[in-house]
Amino acid sequence: MVSNFIKSIIIGLPIGVTFLDLIGYVARVDGISMQPVLNPDKSQTDYVFLNRWAVRSLDIKRGEIISLISPKDPDQTIIKRVVGIPGDIISTIGYKREVVRIPEGHCWVEGDHTGHSVDSNHFGPVSLGLITAKASCIVWPPSRWQYIRSFLPESRVPLNVISQVMASV
C-alpha cells in the first residue's frame, strides 16, 4: 500500500508540474484595476484560469487579458488588458509622453478601471517576455462562470488603427 502511494507521487508529481508549467493554472484576482470585467463586486473575489499554452508563441492580440510579471516589482504578477501591440501608436493617459509608438517586442497594457490601475500609463511599454499567461475564463465563484471575452474599449483603440479604418471608409 505504501509502495503504491509512493509510485503515485513519483508519477503524479512530474505530470502535475508539467501541466501547471505548460498548460495553465487557477489564480486569484486581487484589486479593482480590472473592474467591471473582473471583481465587479467588492464582496467577491474572482478566480481565473490562466492559460500558459495560449501565450507560448507570444502572439498576443489587442483586447486580451493577460497575466504578466510586474515591471515595477518582479515578485508580483499583475493582470491587465492588452491595448497596444508592436507598431501601434497609443494615446496615453497620464504617461510622460502623450503619444507612444510601441516598440518591437513590447506591448501596452492597461487596467479596465481607468485611474485605479498601475499599468503602462505608469511604467510604459512592457516586454513581451514578461507575459506569463492569458486569462481564459472565470472559474470561481460559480455565479460568475464564463469565458473572458477579448475586446478593446472604443476609447482605447490605437491611433494607427483608427487612421486605417478612416482611410478605408
pLDDT digits (tens, 9 = 90+) for 119-148: 999 999 999 999 999 999 999 988 899 999
Note the pTM of the prediction, 2 decimals.
0.84
pLDDT at residue 165 is higher than 60? no
Q: Which residues are the active-site residues?
A: 33, 80
The span from the CA of 91 to the CA of 142, in Å, is: 37
Give the residue with greater pLDDT, 7 vs 112: 112
3-state secondary structure of 140: strand
Is 3.40.50.11900 the CATH number for 25-167? Answer: no
- Other beta carbons less than 10 A from residue 46's beta carbon: 22
Structural domain spans, the chain? 25-167
Tell me the C-alpha distance between 77 and 67, whole Å.
7
